[in-house]
Structure 1
């Protein structure tokens, strides 16, 4: 076993021998010499994208990107024309997670490019595979105040046009001789595990120029770090020393079956991050609840009263959203933390004893099961605490309480359909995380890493399109007014559903400020009729003002072949389950004052 000590305190990292596997895609479509002599750079780029497995491109047109946009529209790649670049980017991220196919997002120069950047940050944080193609100003016009000039004279080059913390790979295509290298870089990035976000900027004049550079066949054999037998043996030994818990994150979503088997033969308690809901069935007797933001008190009860010897962390960064970095979540003997990214283990809890394993989570758990003695029931005789489920009877009077809405969504959508349920940033995802219960992986999506408001109110369009089925977004009225892409869904008859918590305010801000003792900020929004707004754009909808009408309205939304908006008049006084977040903000403020 190759063990390397890092500078972080109490962190032991196991870097396992590499397992070499062939990774494709390949670029194998080679035009003839006569075709090359007539091929534009745009055509060469589109051919490259087709061979990389791109099937869909989302974006907004403009003069700077016109040659490439037109070429995309004539290709086998289906092009969806959105209303805003951020909406196209967010939809692209969710389309990727719906069908696992790399997506292209395209924009024109200037604001077209900058409008999409928030979506690109979200793609990077979420771990999507996105190729972002934008236009830039041709070299002879740079520095001369061209229309929407996009160059080093008007924009920061570092980070936008170069590889770094935003893009894994970024470059400007200045001539067709650079195409082979770009093709190789993109193929290599898409073949790697995890996310890959690239930016190719192409000056308008280059897009329409002729290219005679052939793109040769590209294939990669990528070395992937996997757990060695020695590393697995050490993990088995440590886990066998006493009761342990399993902390499941979104990065473990492809190992749901193996994680359930591991829990059942060991008796380990299981908890999940907010993004990890459904990977381990929430109705299982060994499931404790959700950790972190809008999580369940049962998790802290377990960690404080039945503290396990160790916690096996699978595919989660243990970020603030997932853990609030609570000391109570650190077990007696620390973590065994498995992640494909070697920089993740130990980062959230640098002072905790951590054995870091760099490996694909699925490969690790499969190897662990082979060496784990069976049965190895390390559970205690004390019953595990479980999340408390309280049912509130619907009323025929007053505005709709969000808890009652969530129960109707649970019964009508989660349990009686196969729709993906998505929850937008704000009180919407607080209620959904805390209240909804999933027993299948892949049925629930939130975007809490970068936490961009508007991500899933537009991402639901990409998800429904990508899976060719229903996707339902639970959103606030503030997010719905930002950038909903209902018009895009109507144009392409995408079966997206929006359930709007219409309380005429930014209610997370309102409730959060009140909980922190902050007064005077204006959080109110004029009441909007989202049904008439949706119908004006070619969609359908229904307004719900009474709890007794919820289930019928949701059933109508599911049955609709068109995009559909359920406008729910919400009681704004019901406190959302955001206490942990508020305590964290107060704590941060207190530290700033002390410092």
Structure 2
């Protein structure tokens, strides 16, 4: 009996339950005596809501991948395991559904590690499947041996700093416990990265136990009434500002109501862009790397008594741990992770609140009724965007490119925009403006090159619409997965800032006083590469051609590269990062 038949049987039972009003806990579990362990594990993944599996298979994991191919889960073979993991991260954030990443033994696993660490830092829900060397071969120099003999101190096989839950399957009777652990992890607020390692002989062995019916729900963590009242008391003692992060993305409407009822100034992290509209008169700017001087101006000239922090760790790229960002009476810091508040600024007064941000803000709103008329407020500093007129000749200036992206992609499409680590991140965060959440993505934690260039596939696939990566030529050369996008007809767009160098490194070292380091890259024609793999593209040499190129990219029916020859001498807004490095 194959997995498609089993899935059809399962669906029939569910339909029978609906039609005859039989309680779901009385439905008999599907017959499992003909299942392999691989097929049973795949059934567990289907029941957990997995829709996609991204990876690169090899001999060690072939039976498990074959079972995935026979299921309702769509399997995409990537060209590199790290790219598969980055795509899985963005697929999760675009859809909310957990995603599987798979690899073969040895280097397949280590190739995936960068993307898996990024998943942990970003707070995605990912289940990593890999094979391990069978018990009888361990310690005998098996090909690509994957065992405690060769990888004992890597954290690959154990729960810890990389995996929230990790186990090696040694017999089929472990599957019910594994299903329970995965459901428990996926049901908790925040991210979850799990690893199921399964030797090939176990994958093909027969299932000897019944599978449980998986039921899990996500219940928001909520603060108690005493905590709400204490927070209210602290915020009402004087003026306060609101600092919004990515963890608040589900509470955009409530945060806007709170800001408008209290006249609070609002700033966001770069990952929080768009949660509070950037065209709102109470928005004072983005903090940290690529952020706006208007935030520092506000904190220095109109220093609030407290700052209400919602769903951000206040990590280096969000705050640079600047003392200017500490209000006179400290923070009221709300996060679902109890370990977050107080970590970035351990010396600052902090009232810690463990809660889902949306639930917390809804509770606060009960005490801030909508005013009958708007109350007066001090004028707030606002981000300033330099206006530069396009020129006829010369290389494209990044500011002009970003202005064209703003008009064509941000304002005239619903595409997700993902910026890459480096100058692309700085330009995108500083210049692009979003009025709704979920449109802008960037990695400010692990910050891997190649994240946007491959993550764009996951975002486009999960949303079934255009997604755009903005990245440099160095990142595009490292990992872009154009071939994968072509094979699976994924509507991805890459906008390459092609300056023939690692320009963030070049500009940054010069700003620190280090000169003469070789940061050059041989000039690359990315349109030729794209067309060689079945995609399409346009090479842009002049600013006057930008709008037409971007419009063509959005209407293309194949994956598309916009290769922009940019002026490398234009200084990117990376000064805050360089100053932070110097201060260290």
TM-score (norm 1): 0.92
Match of 1:413 among 409, 412, 417: 409
How many angstroms apart in 1 are the aligned matches of 2:265 and 2:194?
Answer: 39
The 1:553–1:433 alpha-carbon spacing in structure 2 relative to 1, beyond 3 Å, is: same
CA shift, 1:30, in A, is 2.8
The alignment status of 1:333 with 2:332, answered yes or no, reads no
Unaligned runs of 5+ in 1: 1-24, 589-595
Q: Measure, in 2, the Cα distance between the counterparts of 1:79 and 1:46.
A: 12
Residue 219 of structure 1 deviates from its aligned partner by: 3.3
Query: 1 CA distance for matches of 2:25 and 2:150?
Result: 37
Aligned-residue offset at 1:376: 10
> Is residue 103 of structure 2 the alignment partner of residue 107 of structure 1?
yes
> What's the CA shift for 1:374?
4.2
Contact 2:220–2:359 under 8 Å retained in 1: no
Partner of 2:30: 31
In structure 1, distance between residues paired with 2:26 and 2:369: 46
One of 251, 255, 274 as aligned partner of 1:259: 255
Show the 5 A alignment for 1:386-397: 386-397=382-393
Residue 285 of structure 2 aligns to a residue in which SS? strand
Asked whether 1:284 is paired with 2:284, we answer no
Report the counterpart of residue 19 of structure 2 in structure 1: none
Deviations 1:342-371 (A, max 9, x none): 000000000001001000000000000012
Aligned residues of 1:542 and 1:566 also touching (Cα < 8 A): yes
CA shift for structure 1 position 525: 0.4
Q: Distance in 2 between matches of 1:462 and 1:482?
A: 18
Alignment of 1:441-456 (within 5 A): 441-456=437-452
Q: Structure 1: how far apart are the matches of 2:407 and 2:34?
A: 58
> Matches of 1:539 and 1:27 in 2, distance apart?
52
| C-alpha displacement of 1:189 | 0.6
Equivalent residues in 2 for 1:507-546, closer than 5 Å: 507-546=503-542
Distance 2:374 2:103 in 1: 55
Check whether the contact 1:27–1:52 (CA below 8 A) recurs between aligned residues: no
Which of 1 and 2 has higher RCO (CA within 8 Å, sep 6+)?
A: 1
Q: CA deviation at 1:52?
A: 0.8
Secondary structure of 2:260's partner? Answer: helix
Contact residue 266 and residue 376 of structure 1 kept, 8 A: no
- Residues 1:341 and 1:26: Cα distance change in structure 2 (over 3 Å): farther
- Whether 2:303 is the aligned partner of 1:307: answer yes
How do 1:154-553 residues align onto structure 2 when only pairs under 5 Å count?
Answer: 154-157=150-153, 159-220=155-216, 225-375=221-371, 381-553=377-549
| Cα distance in 2, alignment partners of residues 481 and 163 from structure 1 | 34
Structure 2 Cα separation of the partners of residues 254 and 345 of structure 1: 19
**Is contact 1:423–1:429 with CA below 8 Å preserved after alignment?**
yes
Contact conserved, 1:50 with 1:76, CA < 8 A, in 2?
A: yes
Q: 1:404-435 deviations in whole A, cap 9, x for unaligned?
A: 00000000000000101110000001000000
- Offset at 1:221? 7.1
Is the contact made by 1:30 and 1:215 (CA closer than 8 Å) also made in structure 2? yes
What is aligned with 1:21? Answer: none
Alpha-carbon separation, structure 1, partners of 2:218 and 2:290: 39
For 2:576, which of 580, 584, 587 is the aligned residue? 580
Q: Contact between 2:47 and 2:214, CA under 8 Å: does it hold in 1?
A: no
- Report if the CA contact (8 A) 1:247-1:271 is conserved: yes
Give the alignment's TM-score, normalised by structure 2: 0.94
Structure 1 position 520, deviation (Å): 2.8
Shift of 1:391: 1.5
Aligned Cα root-mean-square deviation (Å): 1.7
User: Counterpart of 1:5?
Assistant: none
Give the SS at the match of 1:371. Answer: coil
Q: Quick one: distance in 2 between partners of 1:139 and 1:301?
A: 62
Counterpart position of 1:13: none
How many Å apart are 1:217 and its aligned residue? 2.0
CA offset at residue 479 of structure 1? 0.2
Deviation at 1:29, TM superposition (A): 8.3
What residue in structure 1 maps to residue 92 of structure 2? 96
Other structure's SS at 1:473 match = strand
* Shift in CA distance, 105/376, structure 1 to aligned 2, threshold 3 Å: farther
Deviates most, 192-201 or 377-386? 377-386
Alignment partner of 1:59 out of 33, 52, 55: 55
CA distance in 1, matches of 2:420, 2:218: 36
